[in-house]
Amino acid sequence: MKTKTAALIPLIALIAACSSITPGNDLTVVNAERATQLALDTFNLIEKTEYDVYPALKLTNPTVAGEIRTFVNKIRTESPTWLLSARDLTKAYKSNRSAANKADLDTAVAVLTQATAEAVKYIALMAQTKAH
Among 8, 13, 34, 125, the residue binding other proteins under the rule CB under 8 A is 34
Does position 52 interact with other proteins (CB under 8 A)? The reply is yes
Binding residue count for other proteins, defined by CB under 8 A? 43
Backbone φ and ψ for 21, nearest 5 degrees, come out as -115, 155
Contact of 29 with 17, CB cutoff 8 Å: no
Q: How far is the CB of 19 from other proteins (least distance, A)?
A: 6
Does position 115 interact with other proteins (CB under 8 A)? The reply is no
> Distance between CA atoms of 61 and 69, rounded to whole angstroms?
12
> Distance between CA atoms of 83 and 96, rounded to whole angstroms?
20
- Other C-beta atoms closer than 10 Å to the C-beta of 6 total 12
Does position 59 interact with other proteins (CB under 8 A)? The reply is no
Does position 114 interact with other proteins (CB under 8 A)? The reply is no
CB closer to other proteins out of 26 and 100: 26
Contact of 28 with 43, CB cutoff 8 Å: no
CB closer to other proteins out of 40 and 110: 40
